[in-house]
Amino acid sequence: MKTSGSDRSVVNVIQYGLGSIGMACARAVAATPGLRLVGAVDVDPEKIGRSLARLLDLPPKGFRGIAVRASLAEAMAGRDAHVAMHTTVSSLGAVVPQIQDCLRAGLAVVSSTEELAFPSRTDPEPARRLDVAAKRARRAAIGTGVNPGFIMDLIPIVASGASLGVRKILVRRVLDAGRRRAPFQKKVGVGMAPADVRRRLAEESMGHVGLLDSALLIAAACGIEIDEVRKSGAPVLATRPMRSALGRVARGKVIGLRQNLSCRRKGREVIRMEMVMVLGAKDPRDESFIDGSPRLHLRWEGGVHGDAATIATLINAIPRALTAPPGLHNILTLPIPRTFSPLLSPQP
Amino acid sequence: MKTSGSDRSVVNVIQYGLGSIGMACARAVAATPGLRLVGAVDVDPEKIGRSLARLLDLPPKGFRGIAVRASLAEAMAGRDAHVAMHTTVSSLGAVVPQIQDCLRAGLAVVSSTEELAFPSRTDPEPARRLDVAAKRARRAAIGTGVNPGFIMDLIPIVASGASLGVRKILVRRVLDAGRRRAPFQKKVGVGMAPADVRRRLAEESMGHVGLLDSALLIAAACGIEIDEVRKSGAPVLATRPMRSALGRVARGKVIGLRQNLSCRRKGREVIRMEMVMVLGAKDPRDESFIDGSPRLHLRWEGGVHGDAATIATLINAIPRALTAPPGLHNILTLPIPRTFSPLLSPQP
């Protein structure tokens, strides 16, 4: 990596948000030739003022004494920055002022906010405000990630590009929760009582929330009309005592979730999303089935690892954020994704 | 499908070229709601003047007496057309005047010409002329197809979008030639003497020609530098008598080909393309391996059927041809592919 502050071949990145994904993103930025971390923002009083290198547990070389700041203005003071890697919260309403701030400061934005994957669906008004702000600032803002944003929407959409007369698209994600960290296992109810998980699934305070966004992205991309959506979810129970990152799970307790989403038109299923996140799930994989001419069956052996792939999709979106026309973008308006190429120049 | 000639919700298509791919394309246009065939061009004196419906073996309803014409001007006379589906020959030099003609007539162009997949690589000058012509006509021209254009380049590029620090990309296509038509089996040497196939492979008059284009598209997309390319190819021989669409193949005769392409940088392999097209090939499939963080292995079970998928990628490119900025495009400059959506309006 080159070190001159005005070198046009290096993209200067502000890390906005230092939660677990943000920390991993910042480490990936630091490790990627062609990218340079020039500042970081977080709200946590425990982090503000701390050396970024020390916080990330990286050698101080290259960080030039960067400290975590409470505001974007402080983080950018005296720095030449090109892009904000925005990783704060999932809710679109909460992130609009943050992303507007980044755009006003002249930064392109890559955001992990799930509701940005297809914002005009969930809530058109904040998305419209962000689009206006981005166009005014002549910068692009992109919401992306691995799910939503890649494995359960972009991939089946791209696969459908080699088929005609598509009657149905089925997307299946089978994850072995035993290979994930403790917070993930907690998120899918490992060790909980079945009744508690059923209640939380019913009130939608548990489980993967992006299935509908992904399904509606597929529908919008492929011109599939939908007049009915059915959601279902259930806990999966241990048939024998099992070990987990959260301790031993007794027989009859929860070891994960199954969630399904069925989109129909005139009573016929046209899009189906299936998600299995269970301790010891057999044959973990991601699959897309395109029922058209020809029929296609795409399979990611072993599945696409959530955390590492999420970081990768975010970092890899940086070149597209720097070269896309001004405005708020999603996967349908951008060129195809690709791994980060250092052979690009940021916008002047 | 609606039938009014000025209905903006229907895309009017001229089929330019009526070889086997062109005929299949024309049938697919006729069968796809939202598309309407309004004319056809071919050079074959046997086809010129014939009823298009009769030539395609389709009922005459909806064709309004369209006949095959010798020139684009005749095919378009009195018709409101939006896009040319261009399926003539593989060589870029030969198709430039044809595509320029289409652009001058105000048509967006989708072309199956293999050398358009990455034309600035093979021959920058004709590609530059086409780009200028397209911009002058304020229309987009796209070269696409399934290979090159999808399965051995776009797909591994998209897959790499979920990985970082990519060290190597391996793409493998294993085709059972026994499931293909006689012309395909002939193309891969079925029934020939091994020495003849070796000679023809050495002089590059046999085998799939797009491997280098696909590899260089991957390299360009992912910023992978290459300083050495090694090609190899060999016939596969029958170890027992086998049946084929070309008749019985004796032991020791050719039943297909293996081709490899290895792209290196400083002695290390960074991109590898493998292609197997053999009678009775076991486990036919398309695969991409991304050696990065995370490692990814993507597999199309049974493979992607060449002819049907080629037609689909061409038809599915029509909406992007109608909405892309003026100029000559390839898969790297366009939004992600998707199956044809009738919910679009052609450009005024």
Mean pLDDT over the full length of chain B: 92
A11-146+308-329 matches A154-302 in fold: no
Instruction: Give per-residue pLDDT as tens, B22-52.
Output: 999 999 999 999 999 999 999 999 999 999 9
How far does A74 lie from chain B, in Å, by closest CA? 30
Instruction: Give per-residue pLDDT as tens, B232-269.
Output: 999 999 999 999 999 999 999 999 999 999 999 999 99
A contact residues 267-306, partner B, Cβ 8 Å cutoff? 290, 292-294, 296-302, 304-305
A contact residues 217-246, partner B, Cβ 8 Å cutoff? 221-223
Instruction: Give per-residue pLDDT as tens, B1-29.
Output: 333 444 557 999 999 999 999 999 999 99
Taking residue B100's Cβ as centre, other Cβ atoms within 10 Å add up to 20
| Cα(A264)–Cα(A279) distance, integer angstroms | 31
Would the CB atoms of B223 and A341 count as touching at under 8 Å? yes
| Cα(B28)–Cα(B31) distance, integer angstroms | 5
Would the CB atoms of A162 and B313 count as touching at under 8 Å? yes
How far does A116 lie from chain B, in Å, by closest CA? 18
| Cα(B277)–Cα(A250) distance, integer angstroms | 52
* DSSP letter string, B247-277: EEE-TTSEEEEEEEEEEEETTEEEEEEEEEE
C-alpha torsion sign, points A11, A14, A18, A19: negative
Phi, psi of A258 (to 5 degrees): -120, 135
Q: For B101, how many CA atoms within 13 A lie in the half-sphere containing its CB? A: 17
- B154-303: CATH class: alpha beta
Cβ B212 vs Cβ B261: under 8 Å: yes
Q: Running along chain A, 348 residues long, what does each successive block of 10 average in pLDDT?
A: 52 96 96 94 97 94 90 94 95 93 98 86 84 98 94 98 96 95 93 97 89 94 94 97 96 97 96 97 97 96 91 96 95 94 49
Antiparallel, parallel or unpaired: β B242-244 and B327-329: unpaired
Supply the pLDDT for residue B192: 97
**What is the domain partition of chain A in residue ranges?**
11-146+308-329, 154-302
How far does B222 lie from chain A, in Å, by closest CA? 5
Would the CB atoms of B300 and A302 count as touching at under 8 Å? no
- A11-146+308-329: CATH class: alpha beta
Cβ B226 vs Cβ B265: under 8 Å: yes
Would the CB atoms of B336 and A222 count as touching at under 8 Å? no
Q: Is A10 on the interface with B (CB under 8 A)?
A: no
Mean pLDDT over the full length of chain A: 92
Would the CB atoms of B28 and A290 count as touching at under 8 Å? no
Q: Is B308 on the interface with A (CB under 8 A)?
A: yes
Instruction: Give per-residue pLDDT as tens, A60-112.
Output: 888 888 999 999 999 999 899 999 999 999 888 899 999 999 999 999 999 99
* DSSP letter string, B63-125: TTT-BEESSHHHHHTT----EEEE-S-S-HHHHHHHHHHHHHTT-EEEE--GGGSSHHHH-HH
Q: What pTM does this model have? A: 0.94
CATH number of A154-302: 3.30.360
Cβ B323 vs Cβ B139: under 8 Å: no
Fold classification of B11-145+308-329 (topology level): Rossmann fold (3.40.50)
Chain B residues with beta carbon closer than 8 angstroms to that of A217: none
